């Protein structure tokens, strides 16, 4: 299965709009949306470039055209006290890589805030590479740390993260309690999830990453960017990855994207009660 690059479109915007799930590409977006009952097109969605939407109609609708930032579009009434968790979950395909994921997520957060329906939680979600044997293909990983693994400088003595160069940050910490509850509900493992701009393709690179980050279970390409955007808005962040391939020697034919997407749907399907009951102000 081929993944198409994301276009930053919101396909599932509904109800209270409190949780933003940022995937990279459309098949990941659809896999997450499926967990909340799937989405059907609304009457004017085609004109808006929206692929589909949840029920009831969205409180806010965002779209992007080309490389333009998201911008608010039509506004409709949102669900009241009877709104369910799925009414509060928006799913976007924010694009591949940390930079586009950060830009798309920040745009969605800003638009929601300007519309008076800010998000309480951002979730970076999708497929990822797993460090074996702890995170085999098909497993689900919830990040207890979201780490920018290649943000720094190479030196003759090895890699230096930007923090050791005196600036920036290289890790974000999702709320501990939420990580535990989400992992328990979804049957997921917890560990660091690395964000890389280059997919690991050799055993040597996999070993080097694991030596530098002994608690790492997975690598992907967006989590840190999504977390930076969430952090800039003061919103907590989670990262959830379904493992499609081992981190190691490149063997693209062996990627099990379909299995990973199915695991993503199944995992998110178990999260509704957790997301419904979690209150960021308890943290
Ligand atoms: O085939 C390639 O060489 C290739 C290069 C860049 C990206 C891709 C994707 O299809 C990645 C899409 C998506 O999947 C995540 N992902 C999945 N496995 C890994 C991995 O082992 N390392 C890093 N990222 C991974 C990633 O978050 C991308 O958004 C293919």
pLDDT in tens, 152-173: 999 999 999 999 999 999 999 9
> ipTM of this predicted complex?
0.92
pLDDT in tens, 126-143: 999 999 999 999 999 999
- Measured from the Cα of 97, ligand 1's closest atom is 29
Q: How many CA atoms lie within 13 A of 71 on its CB side?
A: 7
pLDDT in tens, 208-259: 999 999 999 999 999 999 999 999 999 999 999 999 999 999 999 999 999 9
Ligand 1 centroid – CA 42 distance (Å)? 31
Q: Which of 23, 24, 92, 128 to mutate to test the pocket of ligand 1 (most atoms within 8 A of CB)?
A: 128
Question: 182: part of which helix (H) or strand (E)?
Answer: helix 176-186
Residue 97 DSSP one-character state: S
15 falls in which pLDDT band (50, 70, 90)?
A: very low
With a cut of 90, say whether residue 183 has pLDDT above it. yes
Ligand 1 centroid – CA 59 distance (Å)? 32
| pLDDT, position 280 | 65
* Tokens 């806010």 sit on residue: 60
Ligand 1, CB within 6 Å, residue ranges: 3, 24, 96, 126-129, 196, 199-200, 219-222, 244-245, 247, 252
Output the CA angle 126-53-99, nearest 5 degrees: 40
Ligand 1 centroid – CA 247 distance (Å)? 10
Residue 30's nearest CA partner among 8, 52, 14, 45 is 52
Please, what is the average pLDDT of the chain? 82
Ligand 1 centroid – CA 175 distance (Å)? 26
Here the tokens at position 135 are 């995170």
39 falls in which pLDDT band (50, 70, 90)?
A: low
185 falls in which pLDDT band (50, 70, 90)?
A: very high
With a cut of 90, say whether residue 69 has pLDDT above it. no
Task: Find how far residue 235's CA is from the centre of its chain.
Answer: 14
pLDDT in tens, 99-119: 999 999 999 999 999 999 999
| pLDDT, position 83 | 57
* pTM as predicted: 0.83
61-96 exposure pattern, b = at least 16 Cβ within 10 A, e = fewer: bbbbeeeeebeebbeeebbeeebbbbbbbbbbbbbb
Residue nearest to atom 16 of ligand 1 (CA): 128
- Measured from the Cα of 196, ligand 1's closest atom is 23
């Amino acid at each position: 299965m081929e993944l198409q690059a994301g276009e930053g479109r919101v396909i599932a915007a509904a109800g209270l709009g409190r949780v933003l799930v940022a995937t990279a590409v459309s098949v990941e977006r659809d896999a997450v949306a499926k967990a909340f009952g799937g989405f059907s097109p609304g009457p004017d969605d085609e004109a808006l470039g929206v692929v589909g939407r949840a029920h009831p109609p969205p409180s806010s609708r965002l779209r992007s055209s080309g490389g333009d930032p998201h911008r608010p579009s039509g506004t409709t009434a949102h669900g009241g006290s009877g709104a369910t968790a799925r009414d509060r979950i928006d799913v976007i395909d924010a694009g591949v890589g940390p930079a586009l994921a950060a830009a798309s997520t920040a745009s969605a957060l800003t638009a929601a805030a300007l519309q008076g329906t800010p998000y309480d939680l951002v979730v970076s979600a999708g497929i990822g590479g797993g460090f074996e044997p702890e995170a085999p293909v098909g497993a689900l990983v919830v990040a207890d740390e979201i780490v920018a693994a290649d943000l720094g400088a190479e030196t003759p003595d090895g890699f230096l993260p930007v923090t050791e160069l005196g600036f920036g940050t290289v890790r974000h910490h999702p709320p501990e309690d939420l990580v535990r509850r989400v992992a328990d509900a979804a049957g997921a493992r917890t560990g660091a999830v690395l964000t890389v701009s280059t997919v690991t393709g050799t055993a040597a690179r996999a070993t080097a990453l694991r030596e530098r980050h002994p608690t790492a279970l997975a690598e992907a390409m967006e989590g840190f960017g999504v977390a930076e955007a969430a952090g800039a808005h003061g919103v907590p962040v989670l990262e959830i990855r379904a493992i499609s391939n081992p981190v190691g020697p490149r063997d693209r034919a062996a990627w099990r994207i379909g299995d990973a997407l199915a695991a993503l749907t199944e995992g998110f399907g178990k999260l509704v009660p957790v997301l419904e009951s979690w209150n960021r102000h308890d943290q």
